[in-house]
Amino acid sequence: MKKGFTLLELLIVIGIIAILASVVALVLNPAELLRQARDGQRISDFDTLRTAINYHLSTGTSPDTNLGGTGLAYRRSLAAANCPFASSSACTAITTTASTTIDGTGWVNVNFNDVGGGTSPLTILPIDPTNTLTYYYTYAGDDSPNLFELNSRLESTKYRIKMTQDGGNQNGCSTYTEPTCYYEVGTSVTL
C-alpha cells in the first residue's frame, strides 16, 4: 500500500495557503509600501538639497548672485505643472536634459560649482521619483536676504501629514493633491 496525500487534502492545503497569502497582502499593502519608499526618497532628496544650498550660502564665493537673480526666481522640474509658491503665477519650467545640472541652469537656480574649495556638494540635481503632473519638485530663491524654498508633494498616508506640519503656507490639504498642499523646506517656507 502506497502512502500519500489525497486530492482533497491537497486542495485544502492550497486553499489555506491562498487565504494566508491574501491576508498578508492586505496587511502589508505593497502599493502603500511603494508610496512610502518614494516619499522617503523625496524627503532624503530635500535634506540633501537643503544642506547643499546652505553649504553654498555659507562658503560660496558669491552666493548673493546665484539664488535667483533679481527678486524671486521660481523653477520646477516638470513643464506642465502648477507653481506652488504663493507670490508667483508661473514657474520657469526646466525640461531639457540640463534640468539636473548643478551649474545654475538646472531646476535649482544655484551654481553649486561656485563654492569655496571648488568641490561641489552635488554631482547632479535630484528629480522626483515619478516626476508627473502631480508629483514634482519646485524651487524658489531670493538673493537679497538669501532665502530659498523647495516644494514637493508626498503621496503615502504615513508621510503626507508632513505637508500640513512643515510650517509652510501651502498646507491646505484635504485630498493631499490640491494646489495648496505641498511639503516645504528651506530657509523660508512662505515664499
The reply to whether 93 falls in a domain is yes
Query: Cα(11)–Cα(25) distance, rounded to whole angstroms?
Result: 21
Q: Which three cell numbers stand for residue 2?
A: 502506497
Query: Cα(139)–Cα(82) distance, rounded to whole angstroms?
Result: 12
| Residue range of the domain that includes 144 | 37-186
Asked whether the CA dihedral 90, 96, 99, 102 is positive or negative, the reply is negative
The reply to whether 9 falls in a domain is no
The reply to whether 23 falls in a domain is no
Q: Is 56 helix (H, G, I), strand (E, B) or coil?
A: helix
The domain tally of the chain equals 1
The reply to whether 148 falls in a domain is yes
The reply to whether 32 falls in a domain is no
The reply to whether 104 falls in a domain is yes
Query: Cα(102)–Cα(1) distance, rounded to whole angstroms?
Result: 77
The reply to whether 117 falls in a domain is yes
Q: Which residues pair with 72 in a beta bridge?
A: 142
The reply to whether 154 falls in a domain is yes
pLDDT, tens digit only, all 191 positions of the chain: 678 888 899 999 999 999 999 888 788 888 999 999 999 999 999 999 999 988 888 875 444 445 554 455 567 666 555 677 655 555 665 544 447 888 887 888 788 887 766 678 888 989 889 888 888 888 888 776 778 889 899 999 999 999 999 998 888 888 888 888 899 999 888 87
